[in-house]
Amino acid sequence: MANILIIDDSRTSRKMLINILVNAGHTIAGEANDGISGVEMYKQLKPDIVTMDITMPVLDGIGALKQIMEYDASAKVIMVTAAGQQSKMVEAIKIGANDFVTKPFDPDIILSIIDNILR
């Protein structure tokens, strides 16, 4: 089981994801609603895994991912996006993201990705 930090400017999206993760037995390290606080929370909480929304104001998911990877090259980050953002996904993987999930969330896919990361 993993301790997971959720970074997403949408409360709806965070809640949906938390429900899936908690029901599967994972714990929530914390929630951040923008990239800047997300990076700070990563440094403080040192979660096992981060879920990172791509489209956020001020500091988007790509920017926050870069900062987290610079701070901790072993960070495990799953990017979260709507469909149609393939170029952003490719960029995120090149920066160091482990995988990505698209909205609307498919619980089986999310949990399978987390299991793969934990192995």
Partner 1 sequence: MFTQFCGHYLIHKNLLTKEQFDEIAKSESQTRVKLGLIAVSERFLTDSQASEINRLQATMDRRFGDLAIEKGYLTHEQVACLLDLQGNPYLSFIQTVIDKKYLTLTEIEKALTDYQKEFQMSDEDMTAIKSGDIDKTASAFIKIEEPYYADLFGLALRNIVRFITPRIYMDKVYQTNAYSFAHLSSQQMQDDHNVFLGIAGEGNALLSIACPFAQEEFATVDEDVYDAVCEFINVINGLFASELSKQKIEIDMLPPLFYSNQTMKSNKQFYILPVYITGVKVEIIISIDYDFEII
Q: Which residues of this protein are in contact with partner 1, per CB under 8 A?
A: 9-13, 15-16, 55-57, 81-88, 102-104
Nearer to partner 1, 75 or 81 (CB): 81
Nearer to partner 1, 44 or 86 (CB): 86
Kindly report the number of other CB atoms within 10 A of residue 110's CB atom.
21
Nearer to partner 1, 66 or 88 (CB): 88
* Residue 73 CB, nearest approach to partner 1 (Å): 28
* Residue 117 CB, nearest approach to partner 1 (Å): 24
68-77, long-range: CB within 8 Å, 24+ apart, which pairs?
68/38, 68/39, 68/42, 69/95, 69/96, 71/39, 71/42, 71/43, 72/42, 75/42, 75/50, 76/48, 76/49, 76/50, 76/117, 77/49, 77/50, 77/51, 77/52
* Residue 104 CB, nearest approach to partner 1 (Å): 6
Nearer to partner 1, 45 or 103 (CB): 103
* Residue 72 CB, nearest approach to partner 1 (Å): 26
